């Protein structure tokens, strides 16, 4: 099975959760996992919930941001207290350890900016969380930067669902892999344009 086909099936499965009462629980679990264990498809879950329950769109975006921050704080403490024993082996196993020098350099250049833009880089957020603890980024800087960065990640997705509604659901379910790439590309371009 091709990667695109797997991505389409996974996105279709996530979109089906939008109509279920336990969808918000799944969203919270995915945001926690994304920040601590593996890169989870939180955007698809958020989109599914927002399209299925449009009156709660902004609530879901807030829950996603706070859930991700909560997972980030767990990842931060893993990095601060158990990085050599746990964090480094997990990152190595997932193939993310090669990004560690880039995250360290980003934190040296400006931890605040690194965290605020973390949702728009190819580097998984879990690496930012563990590295922040391992490299002794101040907890207050980490928490504030992460909350803003997570909000900047999820609010545009909620806005897209709010303004385009069911059209987003149809496009996402039909063109799951390509739609995700286009949305991510557009968001990255917008952020880069604002930063430069």
Q: Where are the domains of the chain?
A: 3-195
pLDDT at 125: 92
* Angle, vertex CA 138, rays to CA 137 and CA 144, nearest 5: 105
List b or e across 4-34, with b for residues whose CB sees 16 or more CB atoms inside 10 angstroms.
eeebbeebeebbebbeeeebbebbbbbbbbb
Give the integer Cα–Cα distance in Å for 67 and 63. Answer: 6
What is the rounded CA–CA span in Å between residue 184 and residue 156?
A: 10
Low-confidence ranges of the chain (pLDDT < 50): 187, 194
Residue 139: what pLDDT? 97
| Cα(171)–Cα(112) distance, integer angstroms | 35
In whole angstroms, give the CA distance from residue 95 to residue 115. Answer: 21
- For 162, the 3-state DSSP assignment is helix
Per-residue pLDDT at 100: 93
Task: Copy the structure tokens of residue 39.
Answer: 């890169």
pLDDT of residue 174: 58
Query: Looking at residue 94, what is its pLDDT?
Result: 86
**pLDDT for residue 16:** 72
Q: What is the pLDDT of residue 1?
A: 59
According to DSSP H, which parts of the chain are helical? Answer: 3-16, 23-36, 42-52, 57-82, 88-94, 100-116, 125-134, 139-164, 166-174, 176-195
């Amino acid at each position: 099975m091709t990667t695109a086909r797997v991505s389409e099936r996974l996105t279709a499965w996530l979109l089906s959760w939008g109509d279920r009462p336990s969808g918000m629980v799944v969203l919270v679990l995915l945001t926690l996992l994304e920040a601590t264990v593996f890169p989870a498809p939180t955007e698809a879950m958020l989109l599914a919930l927002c399209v299925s329950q449009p009156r709660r769109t902004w609530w879901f975006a807030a829950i996603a941001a706070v859930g991700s921050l909560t997972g980030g704080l767990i990842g931060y403490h893993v990095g601060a207290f158990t990085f050599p024993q746990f964090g480094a082996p997990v990152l190595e196993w997932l193939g993310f350890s090669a990004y560690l020098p880039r995250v360290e350099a980003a934190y040296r250049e400006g931890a605040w900016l690194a965290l605020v833009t973390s949702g728009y880089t190819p580097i998984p957020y879990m690496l930012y969380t563990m590295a922040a603890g391992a490299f002794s980024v101040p907890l207050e800087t980490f928490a504030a930067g992460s909350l803003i960065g997570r909000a900047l990640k999820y609010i545009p997705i909620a806005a897209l669902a709010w303004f385009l509604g069911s059209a987003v659901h149809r496009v996402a379910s039909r063109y799951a892999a390509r739609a995700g790439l286009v949305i991510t590309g557009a968001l990255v371009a917008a952020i880069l344009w604002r930063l430069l």
